Chains A and B, each alone.
Chain A
Amino acid sequence: QKEVEQDPGPLSVPEGAIVSLNCTYSNSAFQYFMWYRQYSRKGPELLMYTYSSGNKEDGRFTAQVDKSSKYISLFIRDSQPSDSATYLCAMSAPLRGGNKLTFGTGTQLKVEL
């Protein structure tokens, strides 16, 4: 079983739709959860960071963590064509000086006009 599972997509939605992106994980040591957006051949851009179960909202983005189910989600409201990108979930376990990130494979999202 992979440590982090993420549906690669592609996911295609109309402009204005609510998008739901998900990851599951198997390592119960993971405590920090991040969502990155990556445009083609660019570096990952941090969108959301959370370290507790529950919801965290930032503008059109909501990150949700359910540690009991080992499941995280990213919701995008009022999706725009500029949201078209690959979305990566990443997580880490507390480790002195470490905290390496383990990534999912990324979900490719296309928002169409």
Chain B
Amino acid sequence: EPEVTQTPSHQVTQMGQEVILRCVPISNHLYFYWYRQILGQKVEFLVSFYNNEISEKSEIFDDQFSVERPDGSNFTLKIRSTKLEDSAMYFCASRAGTSGSRNEQFFGPGTRLTVL
């Protein structure tokens, strides 16, 4: 069964360093998302991406964040200068389309980011 994959599973970085989190969405999906979950808190939307551009972003997604789909399979989230408060699980999700069951969002296993 197709699934969303994410690498690495765990990333440890120093405050102020840049990190890139990688995702491979399900192959025929067109819409891509990043969410985060701080330990003990709810899953929060960061950004949605469609047709090679950001379609919506939250107030969390400030200038320190960027997303890219560098090729036909990968979808990346970059944090330019990490802060302690960026420590969280980051989930990538993808969706096939907009009608019926194609609207379902499937999540990857997550990358646990620890900023020291």
A residues lining the B interface (CB < 8 Å): 32, 34, 36, 41-46, 49, 51, 88, 90, 92, 94-106
Contact across chains for B43 and A103 when beta carbons are under 8 A apart: yes
On chain A, the residues within 8 Å of B93 by CB distance are 101
| 28 A–B contacts, CB within 8 A, in A order | A32-B103, A34-B105, A41-B89, A41-B112, A42-B109, A43-B107, A46-B105, A49-B103, A88-B42, A88-B43, A90-B43, A92-B103, A95-B55, A96-B55, A97-B56, A98-B48, A98-B55, A98-B56, A99-B48, A99-B105, A100-B33, A100-B48, A100-B56, A101-B33, A101-B35, A101-B43, A103-B43, A105-B42
Tell me if B45 counts as interface (CB < 8 A to partner A): yes
Does any Cβ of A come within 8 Å of B95's Cβ? Answer: yes
B interface: dominant SS: strand
- Chain B residues bordering chain A, tally (CB within 8 A): 32
Q: Cβ of A90: which chain B residues have Cβ within 8 Å of it?
A: 43, 105
Answer yes or no: B25 CB below 8 A from chain A CBs. Answer: no
Residues of B within 8 A of A99 (CB): 31, 48, 95, 98, 103, 105
A92 to B103, CA, bound (A): 10
In the assembly, what is the distance between CA of A29 and CA of B31, in Å? 20
Q: Mark B2-28, 1 if CB is under 8 A from A, else 0.
A: 001010000000000000000000000
Interface on B for A, CB 8 Å cutoff? 4, 6, 31, 33, 35, 41-45, 48, 50-51, 55-56, 58, 89, 91, 93, 95, 98, 100-101, 103-110, 112
Which listed residue, A49, A96, A104, A106, touches B104 by the CB 8 Å rule? A49
